[in-house]
Chain A
Amino acid sequence: MAYSNYNCRIEKTFRDLKSANKPALITFITAGDPNFNYSKQVLLNLPKAGADLIEIGVPFSDPMADGPIIQKSYRRALKNGVNLDEVLSLVKIFRKKNNYTPIVLMGYYNPFFQKGIKSFLKEAEKVGVDGVLIVDLPPENDDEIRKHLSDYKLKVIRLASPTTDRQRLTKILKISSGFLYYVSITGITGSGLSKFNTLKNAYNKLKRYSKIPIVVGFGINTPEKAKIVSKYADGVVVGSAIINELDKTIDKKSNINNNVIRLVKKFSEAIKEARK
């Protein structure tokens, strides 16, 4: 059953949060943005600031599901020559200090494909990656990764969106593990969520079919929105808002770490309020 595997950081995290009646705060940062050391510093501080699970973006030159903020972030990281191997070494460093916060790598298929799926899975598991979410790899096309999955503990996180109909959802849930990522809007990252009732209805429908936790991502760009959604959702993903803060801070040359962490704390406090 979904919540019973205690060895898995993802499952343990959601199980613990559930018993405490808390939603999960999932924070996104890009590996290597604005450079390797900064992202290392921010990464290490995220759990203390309230991140329950961390998504690390694997930079890609052509992120077709991302808006301007994350596009820019990937560009900065790529300028520094960050590649998938360095993303893995970032996780390795993190795991030396933190062995409980789940890490999910989020990216586009080509960098994984070029590394070789088998060697990626092997190394990722070794350094302590818990899951991988590949934006442009729908279940119809994931045979190259699916055929190896039974050999590794790594989870492939699946997505559902407002366009996913029930029949498709059933298919997706059948092969899902860890958690399901619900894309709250038909759009790209960084667009603002506005139709809260539509989202809530859609979410509650999804919940009826899913045995695993469902988190909501895309469009949650303020602590207020995070609070509204986390009244009912198992977790919320905050991405562009964090990267945007980082972006602003780079220009002002002020302390990136402090500002980003301060923002994450605000999100964390907001969602803690949600279920009071």
Chain B
Amino acid sequence: MLKKFSYRDFPDKFGKFGNYGGRFVAETLMPLILDLEKKYNRYKKDKKFIKEFNHLSKSFIGRPSPLYFAENLTNHLGGAKIYFKRDELNHTGAHKINNCLGQILLAKRMNKKRIIAETGAGQHGLATATVCALFGLKCVIYMGAKDIKRQKPNVLKMKLLGADIVPVNSGSSTLKDAMNEALRDWVSNVNNTFYIIGTAAGPHPYPMMVRDFQSVIGKEVREQIFEYEKRLPNSLIACIGGGSNSLGLFHDFLDEDNIALYGIEAGGKGIKTGKHASSLLAGKPGVLHGNKTYILQNKHGQIKEAHSISAGLDYPGIGPEHSWLKDIGRVKYFSVKDNQAIEALKLCSRLEGIIPALEPSHALYFVTKFAPKQKKNHIIVMNLCGRGDKDLDAIAPLLNI
């Protein structure tokens, strides 16, 4: 019998999403990621593992996060009905902790005593430091020197939680460089260290594993929207850095072709200026950080620096599943600029009493342009994946208030 095609059957056993993904790492790391894959495949079906994950999701993270009808924004824009998936209400203020919880439970079962992570906005670093405190594991966070400056509150929180922060000064001193440095640490400490990657990128099995741990977002939306509307949404919208919150929202709905999916990249100062982080819209396929995917690069294959006001989106690559979803057309991608994101952040704060992080503010700006063009019975769910506290210092000079 021919099995029906499902987007959700990917990656294949080589970790490929079509041509993308795979495992492009040094030999020293190969045995480790093969072992990780084996352990993940085992524990994801393990009843005790699932039970512990679900229990802590509820009691520690605060899941399920609410689905909220943004009525004021809906009325203001005058088109589609807009819902927010409120992952900014999670403990630590973003979706990142869903993944960290899953990975640390795995690390514990693999007897690893030391956790490392890279972070851009500091949200993933914060979430990692938090679960490390919870489980009493040593925590080392690599963070670009530039990001340490623009995400001060998170740096302070991580330190308070007992993490060591290692400033990274190479390259553009942002997320990409922090990831290089974390990979170098991992290669040097293979025996006792578990690397918690913060987005759906890196070598297989990370893109799959991170997506799986985040897919709780979409699963909750499916149930919650039924309570409000007795039907599924028409469009799902999320911002994209490496792609974990968006895949978390989209994944459960990938096979429902009548649901439109929109991924919003950071347009920085505009794609034409070259100062942006839109790898899908302006990059081309290449290999970085363990996987084949769309990357911002020059014609000789050197990686370009990304630019975004949002530290969490300031990355020249993207998770491989998105590269595939772009090529086959299942998700449509757009880009939103720095100043547009700030505009949306201000609007949302005043209209809804919710201060979003800069990252989802990119998705929100797209919503403000998209919703008015839809019929009144069109339902949008946007992932409000982070709260804005961490950004206030950085954007204060731009707010004119």
Contact = CB atoms under 8 A, between A and B. Distances in A.
Nearest to A108: B287
Given A65-B26, A83-B300, A168-B31, A110 B286 contact: yes
B245 interface: no
Given A84-B300, A110-B286, A163 B24 contact: no
Nearest to B184: A188
A80 interface: no
Nearest to B303: A61
A62 B176 contact: yes
B32 to A, nearest CB: 7
A109 B24 contact: yes
A83 B289 CA distance: 20
B300 A191 contact: no
A19 interface: no
Interface stretch (A5-13, A131-139, A229-237): A131-139
Which residue, A64, A110, A138, A140, has most C-beta atoms of chain B within 10 A?
Answer: A64
Contact of A135 (B26, B176, B180, B288): B26
Contacts of B24: 109, 136-138, 141
Contact of B290 (A63, A78, A111, A136): A136
Nearest to A74: B302
Which residue, B23, B29, B301, B303, has most C-beta atoms of chain A within 10 A?
Answer: B301
Interface in B180-194: 180, 183-184, 187-191
Interface in A84-115: 84-85, 108-115
A186 B190 contact: yes
A115 B297 CA distance: 13
Contacts of A164: 27, 30-31
Nearest to A65: B26
Given A62-B180, A64-B184, A78-B302, A160 B23 contact: no
A182 to B, nearest CB: 10
B180 A109 contact: no
Where chain B touches its partner, the secondary structure class is mixed
Interface string A169-199: 0001000000000010011100100000000
A50 B286 CA distance: 38
A161 interface: yes
Interface residues of B, number: 36
Contacts of A162: 28
B299 A159 contact: no
A165 interface: yes
A71 interface: yes
A110 B288 contact: yes
Contact of B301 (A114, A138, A191): A114
Interface string B11-48: 00010000000111111111110000000000000000
A111 B27 contact: no
A63 to B, nearest CB: 8
A114 B27 CA distance: 22
A183 B28 contact: yes
Given A67-B184, A160-B27, A114 B300 contact: yes
Contacts of A61: 171, 302-303
Contacts of B72: none
Interface residues of A, number: 42
B374 interface: no
B189 to A, nearest CB: 8
B326 to A, nearest CB: 19
Contact of B27 (A62, A63, A183): A183
B28 A161 contact: yes
B111 interface: no
Interface string B331-358: 0000000000000000000000000000
A64 B27 contact: no
A14 interface: no
B258 interface: no
Nearest to B302: A61
A28 interface: no
B75 interface: no
A267 to B, nearest CB: 24
A55 to B, nearest CB: 16
A60 interface: yes
Contacts of B22: 140-141
A136 B171 contact: no
Contacts of B184: 64-67, 188
A159 B300 contact: no
B384 to A, nearest CB: 32
Contacts of B28: 65, 161-163, 183, 186-187
Contacts of A113: 286-287, 301
Contacts of B176: 62
A209 B7 CA distance: 43
B170 A136 contact: no
B14 A136 contact: no
Interface of B: 14, 22-32, 170-171, 176-177, 180, 183-184, 187-191, 286-290, 295, 297, 299-303
Top 5 nearest A-B pairs by Cβ distance?
A114-B301, A111-B301, A83-B300, A161-B28, A159-B27
